């Protein structure tokens, strides 16, 4: 099978389905509908490999992630987690340890990811959403962090990010009560960018990804780094310094900055090369 990419994607035999709906756009579909797209340990490692490949693949600029069936993702596979809690089980191999939901919930990465939330986004699935760069949700999507009701905690990165996105009081209501919220409320709180009809959610996410992918691959990475450092770093000035020293310095060495300025001067559409960042 041939792929519109420089290198073939990693194998995804158990959890993920990959496709390429538009130039420079990767569509990732979590495909375990009978388990509400809950993520097993094997699924975690698949996703880890896909993100690493995305960031290294020069022909791709942005990814969209969605789910099959009535759920985006129910988060951790609690049945597998329960099975890892026996007295004779190795504590270091319990699901709640690393990689846990590092593949997306704690992913930093270089390239943006858009969530197309087609249904339930619970637990780790909701943590996925909180860490995505843009979020499109269907009208009937539901978001929740019910971990406190199951004796565990949302340790995949959602809690500090929720504080930054929605504030302490709303984050506390959401996480400590463990009660779900609607797509409309998630949009009101700033977790979701836009709410659309269920049948439009993937198309809208791909449309946004396509518009994003029309821009300079280097500039996308550099700009996202600036946003992320501003979100995750306490000092504004320190965030700026980090990006200036890393991504901005590399952007200036590449061909895309020259092409963008030249195309503007010549009043034509730029022809981008793969990112050097």
Give strand pairing partners of 64. 27, 114
| Token representation of residue 55 | 């960031």
In degrees rounded to 5, what are phi and psi of residue 195? -115, 130
SS3 for 62?
A: strand
| Residues involved in catalysis | 76, 124, 127, 147
Answer yes or no: are the C-beta atoms of 194 and 203 closer than 8 Å.
Answer: no
Answer yes or no: are the C-beta atoms of 117 and 135 closer than 8 Å.
Answer: yes
Cβ partners under 8 Å of residue 173, min gap 6: none
| Token representation of residue 19 | 């496709």
Give strand pairing partners of 133. none
């Amino acid at each position: 099978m041939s792929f519109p990419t420089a290198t073939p994607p990693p194998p995804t035999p158990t959890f993920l389905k990959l496709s390429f709906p538009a130039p420079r756009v990767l569509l990732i579909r979590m495909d375990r509908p009978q388990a509400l797209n809950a993520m097993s340990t094997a699924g975690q490692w698949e996703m880890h490999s896909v993100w690493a490949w995305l960031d290294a693949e020069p022909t791709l600029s942005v990814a969209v992630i969605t789910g099959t069936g009535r759920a985006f993702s129910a988060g951790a596979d609690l049945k597998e987690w329960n099975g890892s809690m026996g007295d004779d089980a190795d504590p270091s191999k319990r699901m709640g340890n690393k990689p846990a939901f590092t593949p997306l919930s704690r992913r930093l990465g270089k390239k943006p990811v858009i969530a197309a939330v087609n249904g339930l986004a619970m637990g780790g699935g909701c943590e996925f959403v909180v860490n995505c760069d843009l979020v499109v949700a269907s009208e009937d999507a539901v978001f929740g962090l019910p971990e406190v009701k199951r004796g565990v905690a949302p340790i995949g990165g959602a809690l500090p990010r929720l504080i930054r996105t929605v504030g302490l009081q709303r984050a506390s209501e959401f996480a400590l009560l463990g009660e779900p919220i609607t797509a409309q409320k998630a949009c009101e709180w700033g977790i979701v960018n836009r709410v659309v009809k269920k049948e439009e959610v993937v198309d809208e996410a791909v449309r946004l990804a396509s518009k994003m992918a029309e821009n300079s691959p280097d500039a996308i990475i550099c700009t996202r780094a600036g946003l992320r450092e501003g979100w995750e770093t306490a000092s504004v000035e320190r965030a700026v310094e980090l990006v200036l020293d890393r991504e901005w310095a590399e952007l200036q060495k590449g061909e895309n900055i020259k092409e963008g300025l030249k195309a503007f001067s010549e009043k034509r559409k730029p022809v981008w090369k793969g990112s050097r960042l």
